[in-house]
Structure 1
């Protein structure tokens, strides 16, 4: 099943089940994160799917709603850097013994078709990623427990302000700009997911990134298990698994997004993000 958080014509948001016919069935929660905190969320979605199959239920047409951030109030947004071999090589690093982790806030998250407004950075880079949605509480879990706790998977782009990121050894300030991380359009539930995903990124229709999650150094269950050793993961938390090679900073010469560019991020079987950028770069000191 595929779940989404929709902005409706009434101005509210709702968790919704995709019916497979460009329509969605509203669920009893304001967003997917609020749905996942309900212990019976799986039975709720199953009953909704059965109702949709039988017909006669009021639905929301795709033309009457747009995609809000999938998890607008995620308690934790944790990201893994340097997790594909080719990306590690282009960054000039060695294969890591442990995951390289950093955090974002829920404030960074936006919808699948939202415009991205960037203020104060002239080196805006792309990072197409598979993201994992936590479905049940995890603390000091092994990999089997972590795997069982995965609610589903979604598409994300860890848009990075490289000029800010490279000011210090810590990445946080270049990764946590408000409203710059598109996530969605849907969460594919884990029971319908394959063992690997093809991740692609495009700039103005040009393919710049492509990788398969089967080549991750640390897979989803490994990441969740590792993270849970030091912090509790709860339903609705989000873990970004890293990006394949092809980021702008790794190109020769480096390449970054320009005002008006369209960044597309897609994962087969889940969906695609398509976000236009409005970049308000800082005024040069000698201007």
Structure 2
């Protein structure tokens, strides 16, 4: 089992809380610092000095480095193999990663295309091929590292540590989902749309945590998260988002708490639960999500 398997390595529980504490403290400091400034204005100032790609690298670069910190900490400090951090299977199932990536990438691209067809006045053509190609290379390298860091920190390192400490599945699921959402509190989207967007962030964290527990591994969450950020960053940007990129389109509409927030959480994600459960034969939902750990 995904959490229980760690017991055989006889882990020191306090080692599970050092990296998350440092990261969350840094996020809290960033949020407090951002309260006295216009985050979106800071991003625009950075773009004027460093360019879009330079600003993007500054934002995702530290998170990409964070991936190596989590992996090195796990392997060399905790003495736990990366495979055990990732999955309960004998080896990482890359087919699961790519299936999840292409499934959610296709859905994301389709939803953006439908939005463009139904409200073309909300989009302008933003493609500058030379800049886009450079960004494409940067995005393909750094976005999967950024999203993998968040998955390995929240759905792997923290979920396993909290699970072992509480002998519970539900507690780490709820705690990591909440913290994953709160991590985005300093994003300019929060100022623009309002705190209702936390429904999307926390709901997405809950979705990723559920598929991790049900599938007994991180692979599906890794693929989903990478597709979510990468495809969105390549296809559409806006002047009020955290990631402002050399994308194909720019969304010039005024953001609102509606379709973009509630459709994924209450319609699309339940459909994905059904698809994944049929593909991988998920059973015993109650035990896997609400049960105690087995010995």
* TM-score where L is the length of structure 2: 0.24
In proportion to residue count, which structure has more helix?
A: 2
* TM-score where L is the length of structure 1: 0.25
Of structures 1 and 2, the one scoring higher in RCO (CA 8 A, sep 6+) is: 2
In proportion to residue count, which structure has more strand?
A: 1
